[in-house]
Every structure is written in C-alpha cells, then in structure tokens.
Amino acid sequence: MYAVLLLGLMATLRVALATTTHTFNWTTGWGMYNVDGVKDREVITCNGEFPWPDIKVNRGDRIVVYLNNGFTNANTSLHFHGLFQNGTSQMDGPPLVSQCPIAPNDTFIYNFTVPDNVGSYWYHSHVSGQYQDGMRGTLIIEEEGAVPYDYDEEVVVQLSEWYHDTTDVLINSFMNLYNPTGAEPIPQNLIINNTMNLTWNVEPDTTYLLRIINTGGFVSQYFWIEDHDLTVVEVDGVYTEQNTTDMLYITVAQRYSVLIHTKNDTSRNYAIMQKFDDTMLDVVPSDLQLNATSYMVYNSTTSLPSENYVDELDFLDDFYLVPYNKTELFDEPDYTITVDVAMDNLINGVNYAFFNNITYTTPKVPTLLTALSAGKNATDATVYGSNINAFVLEKDEVVEIVLNNLDSGTHPFHLHGHIFQVLVRDVEYDDTTHAFNADNHTAFPEYPMMRDTLYVRPQSNFVIRFKADNPGVWMFHCHIEWHLIQGLALILIEDPASIQSTASQQITENHKSVCKNVGVPYEGNAAANATDYLDLTGENIQLKTIPTGFTKKGIIAMVFSCLAGVLGLISIALYGLMDMEHVEEKVIEELHLDVDKVLAADDGTDEGANSSAAEKVSSD
C-alpha cells in the first residue's frame, strides 16, 4: 500500500516538475515607432517597448499574464488565439463575452495551462482594433517529437499589414455616415516581423521549419520565396500530411508551418515575397506597393535580389489538406446553425455587418458571467439577449455551422475554443450569391481539414463541423477587425451546466474586482437583471433599420449634401471614394436601391427627403 502511495506521489511530483509556470507582467502604453521605415507613428507598447514579446512554452505549461492597463482612456483585454481554454473560458479574452473589460490602471490576471494545444498560435488585444496598433505577439507551444517531420531549425515569422494612422482615427472615419458603403481603410504597407525589407540569414543544405503567422487585421497575403518549395506541415495548430507548394494564401489570424530545404549553392540570395490580396481593397491607390520584398540571404557579401515576379497566383488550397492524425468526418450534426452574412446601413447611415440581420451588440453583462449566474435559465438563449446571436449547445453534440456569404467580400471566420472540420468551401459564381444546398453539394472529405480560421469566398458559402466538448462561451466572428467592429459575430454558449459545476470556471476574485472597477455587473442577464433572468427590459439593441425606400433615399441624399460640405476636409482615398464621379451610383448600388427609380428621382417633394439634397441625387 505504501508502495502504491509512493508511486502515486512520485507521479504527481514528476508532473509537477515537468510543468513550468511562465509569468509575464505586461503594462500597455503608447510610444512613437517607425515600423515600416516610412513613417513615425504611435504604437501600443509592452512595458514601454515595441514589438510585444514572442512567447514559447511547452505543452502542459502554465501561463500567467498580469495585464496592466496603462492606457489613460481605453479599456483593454488579451485573447490567446487558437487555445482551447478547456475549463478556463474566462481566460479567453473577448470583453463582454468571457470577461469584464479591464479599466485603465487595473490588472487582469490571465492564468491557464496549455494541455491540449501544440503548434503556432498568437495573442492579441480583443478590444476595438488595438491589435492593429501593435498589441500582439506570437505564441509557440512545443512538445518534444510533436512535429512529425525532421528539420534542423525552427524560425517564426510574423506577417501583417500596416497603417500610418492609429486605429482610433481610422474607426472614426470608418464607422461614419460619410462612409456609407463601409469601405475599409486602406493600409500603407505589408510588414514582416514588424519591419520591412527583412533579412533572413540561412545556412546551406538545412531544413527550416518556418512558422508563418498572419497577425494582421484586414488583408490576406500571398506568400512565396523565389525558387524555393514550401512544404506545409501545420495549419492553425494542426499538423498535416505534407503538401508542397510554391505559394501560400494566408488570411489574417491564420498560421502555416512549412519546411524549407535550403540550397547547397551559396552564390546568390533569394526574394521573400508578400503580396496583398487586392480584391479585398475597395480601391487600390496608385502609390500602394502591392508586393513587398524581403531577403533570404545565403551570402551576405553578394547583392540582394530584386522583386520576384510571378505570372500566376497559384497557391495551395487548404481545403485539400489532410490532418496528420486523420480524424474521420464527424457524424451527422445534432444541431445545425445556418447564418447569412450581410452588410447594410442602419438608420444613422453607418454601415454594419450582420449574421441573420443581427449586428452583434454588446450585452450589459459578459455572456459567460450570465451563464454562470443564470442557474437553470442558462440553457435558455433568451437570457443572453436578443442582439448577440446567442446559440446554446448541448454537451458533446456535433454542431454544424452553415455560413452563406451574401456579401461580395472575402471573410476569414474564426471560432474560439475549437478547431473545426471543413466540409465544404464553395467556389465563387459570377456575380450571383449562392447559398449552401444540403441536397446538392460536393462530396464531404473523408478526413476533412481542421483549423480555427477559414475564409469564405465572395457570395459563396462554407460548412464546418465540431464537437461541443469544450464547456465555455465562445465567439465565432470575422477576423477582419473592421468587420468585427461592424458587428460580425455570434456567441456559442457551450454546455452551460458544466460551466456552472466546474470549479476552475468560477469567476476569480481578480476578475470580480476588474468588473467592479469598470462598473460592469458580474451577475445577471444581458440586461443586467439578476432577479428575473427572462426579463430583458433595458438590454442593448441595435439601431433601427432604414425602413422604406423613400427614407433610404433621404438618408443617401443627406449623405451627399453633407459630403459636399465636408469634402474639403476629408481624405477621399481613405473612404474608398476616389472616383467621385460615380460615388452616387456606388452608394445606390451598395445600398441595394432600385437605381433607375432613384436616379430618375422626382423633384424631392417625397416625404422625408430633404429637397435640395434630393436634387443633388438626381442632378448628376
């Protein structure tokens, strides 16, 4: 008996010894940096420095981050992208989803282990565009022997786009009546490892595992290295069967690990290329460099290569990748969530993004804290509010999400707390929207690709499945930060009974105090009603839609008349309205109005329409 006890003790000890706690003490702030070598601007610093640190830990380790909000007038939070946070949903990061926002001068303690994730991840602020100002870093989780392929050296590389203005400034003009089409701000450059014109010194005849992480907030990038094969072995923390390609297409938030075997010949150097997916830009300014060149250097005494031209953007389609640990297609779903993605204007003229006509509007209590405090009512989606697209999932059920993109843009969707299988990613048709048809679709793969961020093509659709085996509150959202700000998110409340009954899911004392300091209740339904959870009186809801044709016209008319007044003051390129001659047509088209009717508009005596402005509509 003593022997058994001793053995048990030794086992415990071994686990304890093998597990390291990595403690970080980070304070946010602002500092002036010249990231792209072109312009000095304010960026978000970590303990006064930029960029934010890259983290490397081992599977099973504990990560503790003291995140001190050093901003004077903004809340903050941190999300660890791709981590399952199994049993620690409150450490996931999105404010008003899994935690209270952290007020200035306050500290949130992120405290969790990483038992279930191995591979390439990253962390970033989950508050209105802060990560695009630099509040982000890479996070690699290692495990001896986990990468099922041989390599000599591991190298991380971070890709992003870069703006010369801070996100605050950009949001003000983006979520604006004067930007009725919702044109996203155009970045100034593509950056790599928080710089440009990077030099990567390589050894000959060496196999590198290059972990490529797109920490950007908007555009997808093509990535290739002149005359070098890229052998994909990991996507989003999922090791795959090898697939060799010349070129990758990487959306924001996605990760690819590739094996690269260097040449024996050291007589010359090669171009590392990044290229904008310019189809995602509303306008392409003539001075925008669509492709950025960095250098793979074998020989530092010889010249650097020039840009590498390609005739065709022939990239690997991740749909066809096969996970190394082949997981069979999950069973028929127990629960199917079908969502339509659309962009439209609300009554204030601002362009929003919608899942099923609902633009995510923050509740008064973080959804996880509602789930923890709602008792038996936690299984009733009503308590989470009518404006967050709440779906309650049952323990271990197979969930399918069918996403129909009614919008003409590409969107990379990310699911927190899970990886998912990709059953369908439909092609793009010519200018017509097509929804997924359950009775007529391409065959589902036997061993579907699994990852945590997946793009949908314009006016097309995708179908994904996962198992609800991770109790918690998880966000599913477009990872284009502009679109998240426009409300393109839904919330999954997974197995609320288990959330309530698990000790590690209970709100920590630190979390409670963060809620108190920011003035957000930590109990109650979406309307902060902690006595009657089914009474949603006073909940936050979205603005009204534009009700009828004439009112729409009135709003557009108002936009035009105002535009005329402020044109001198605004940066036209920023709004994607370069081509002013056709701006009216563009707005009419984007607002889905009957063009003939509007252009042949009456003299402005219509109800609701301001007459001089309406004249402006019809006069051009």
Ligand X SMILES: *[C@@H]1O[C@H](CO)[C@@H](O)[C@H](O)[C@H]1NC(C)=O
Minimum CB separation of residue 409 from Cu ion in Å reads 6
Question: Which listed option, ligand X, Cu ion, none, makes contact with residue 470 (CB within 5 to 8 Å by class)?
Answer: ligand X
Please list every residue from 453 through 492 that binds Cu ion, using CB under 5 A.
478, 480, 483
CB of 458 to Cu ion, least distance (A): 11
**DSSP H or E stretch at residue 482:** helix 481-485
Return the one option of Cu ion, ligand X, none that residue 203 interacts with (CB less than 5 to 8 A, by type): none
Residue 45 Cβ, how far from ligand X at the closest point, in Å?
A: 14
Which residues are near ligand X by CB under 6 A? 25, 36-38, 54, 64, 66, 72, 84, 86, 104-105, 109, 111, 116, 146, 148, 155-157, 193, 195-198, 200, 205, 239, 241, 243, 264, 266-267, 275, 289-291, 299, 301-302, 307, 309-310, 316-317, 320-322, 324-325, 340, 356-357, 418, 469-470
Per DSSP, the three-state class of 208 is: strand
Q: Which string of DSSP letters, residue by residue, matches 72-85?
A: SS--B-EEEET---
- Residue 268 burial (CB count, 10 A): 15
Q: Which of ligand X, Cu ion, none lies near 411, with the C-beta cut-off 5 to 8 A by kind? A: Cu ion
If contact means CB under 5 to 8 A according to the sort of partner, which of Cu ion, ligand X, none does residue 239 touch?
ligand X
Residue whose entry in the numeric block shows the structure tokens 């003939």: 596
Residues 6+ apart with CB under 8 A from 504: 87, 88
CB of residue 99 to Cu ion, shortest distance in Å: 24
How does DSSP classify residue 540?
Answer: -
Binding mask 352-391 for Cu ion (x = CB under 5 A): ----------------------------------------
Which of 101/182 has CB closer to Cu ion?
A: 182
In this structure, the dihedral spanned by the alpha carbons of residues 130, 131, 134 and 139, taken in order and rounded to 10 degrees, is: 140
| Short-list 219, 191, 216, 214, CA closest to 293 | 191
176: β partners: none
- State the Cα–Cα distance between residues 611 and 121, nearest whole angstrom: 55
Edge-first strand listing for the sheet containing 238-245: 189-192, 153-162, 207-214, 255-261, 230-235, 238-245
- Of 21 and 172, CB closest to ligand X: 21
CB of 380 to ligand X, least distance (A): 20
**Per-residue DSSP letter, 328:** P
Rounded to whole angstroms, the Cα distance separating 533 from 281 reads: 44
- What distance in Å separates the CA atoms of residue 77 and residue 416, rounded to the nearest whole number? 15
Q: Which of 219/260 has CB closer to Cu ion?
A: 219
Query: Of residues 81, 411, 451, 552, which one binds Cu ion by CB under 5 A?
Result: 411
Of 411 and 418, the one with the shorter C-beta distance to Cu ion is 411
The DSSP call for residue 443 is: P
CB of 321 to ligand X, least distance (A): 5
CB-wise, 48 or 538, nearer to ligand X? 48
Which residues on neighbouring strands pair with residue 421, listed in sequence order? 450, 465
**Which of ligand X, Cu ion, none interacts with 109 (beta carbon under 5 to 8 A by kind)?**
ligand X
Tokens standing for residue 200: 């990567």
- Residue 483 interacting entry, from ligand X, Cu ion, none, C-beta within 5 to 8 Å by type: Cu ion
State which residue, 359 or 367, has the beta carbon closest to ligand X. 359
**Terminal CA-CA length for the chain:** 92
> How many C-beta atoms lie closer than 10 Å to residue 237's C-beta?
22
Q: Which partner in ligand X, Cu ion, none is near 562 (CB below 5 to 8 A by kind)?
A: none
Could you list the residues that contact Cu ion (CB under 5 A)? 411, 478, 480, 483
